[in-house]
Amino acid sequence: MDLMIDGKVFLVTGGTRGLGLAAARALTAEGARVVVSSRSQEAVDQAVAELGGPDHATGLVADNADPEAADRMTAAALQRHGRLDGVLISVGGPPTGPLTAITDTQWRESFESVFLGALRVARAAAPVLPEGGSIGFVLSLSVKSPWPNMSVSNGLRPGLAMAAKTLADELGPRGIRVNGFVVGSLATDRLTQLEQATDDPQQTRARRTADIPLRRYGTPEEFGRLAAVVLSPVASYTTGSMIHIDGGATRSL
């Protein structure tokens, strides 16, 4: 299927690893150009090389928690390519732990990165996106139900999902679509870290996969393909949706 994104330009925050990088790969494979960001220059350089070099990808060192990062990333896309057609907003996972153990500082820092940082990127990109443009927020199953030991994510992600739906209402009249990806257990470094933090990582994985109808973790590549489709004109009538990619783990509608 032709995703009709050849020559289009997408900004992918957190696009140097995990789900962001997988989406960037899928987009460039369809002929799109990407601007990827990371907090590490080394990670940026490595991702640009992996994505085919400067003709296909531009890298920028940026932290979503930085109030100026969103404007810098948007400006970089416009300066390099003269256009911006879509945005995938992905950030690193917040600290884990029970609600009673999370400090005020951890809450503030997580809010800046996970919540406010994501909204800044969407807010900066929205005025320059054309009709047919799209914005995607990478969320998690904590949007639907709390995850054990993930109190910060449980607190912030549902609000971000509702903000995404609100933004879909606001930008819809301009023909700009906004969707969220409700991500389940995908085999990323982040998931491995969460498993390693338990008393028995192997048992943790066995228990988690047993609760997934497909009986396995998903792959970043499976997410990347779906993200590319939803960001593309192929999904031109899909907006305000929370799109699950969880192997059937969510039992509710």
Q: What is the pLDDT of residues 149-178, one digit of tens each?
A: 889 999 999 999 999 999 999 999 999 999
Residue 83 lies in a domain: yes
Residue 214 lies in a domain: no
Residue 92 lies in a domain: yes
Residue 38 lies in a domain: yes
What is the helix (H) or strand (E) element at residue 199, kind and residue range? none
Q: Do residues 14 and 91 lie in contact, with contact meaning Cβ atoms separated by under 8 Å?
A: yes
Residue 88: per-residue pLDDT: 98
In the beta sheet, which residues pair with residue 206?
none
Residue 197 lies in a domain: no
Residue 252 lies in a domain: no
How far apart CA 142 and CA 145 sit, in angstroms, is: 5
Q: CA gyration radius for the chain?
A: 17
> What is the per-residue pLDDT across 196-223, written as a single tens digit (0 to 9) for each?
778 788 888 888 889 999 999 999 999 9
> What is the per-residue pLDDT across 113-159, written as a single tens digit (0 to 9) for each?
999 999 999 999 999 999 999 999 999 999 999 988 889 999 999 99
Q: Model confidence at 234, in pLDDT bands (50, 70, 90)?
A: very high
Distances (CA, A) of 241 to 65, 83, 249: 25, 25, 18
**And the tokens for 191?**
């998931």
How far apart CA 218 and CA 90 sit, in angstroms, is: 17
How far apart CA 172 and CA 177 sit, in angstroms, is: 6
Residue 124 lies in a domain: yes
pTM, 2 dp: 0.95
Which range marks the domain in which residue 134 is found?
9-189+222-244
Q: At what angle do helices 18-29 and 41-50 cross, to 10 degrees?
A: 30
**And the tokens for 164?**
């995404």
Number of structural domains in the chain: 1
What CATH number has the domain bearing residue 157?
3.40.50.720
Residue 194 lies in a domain: no
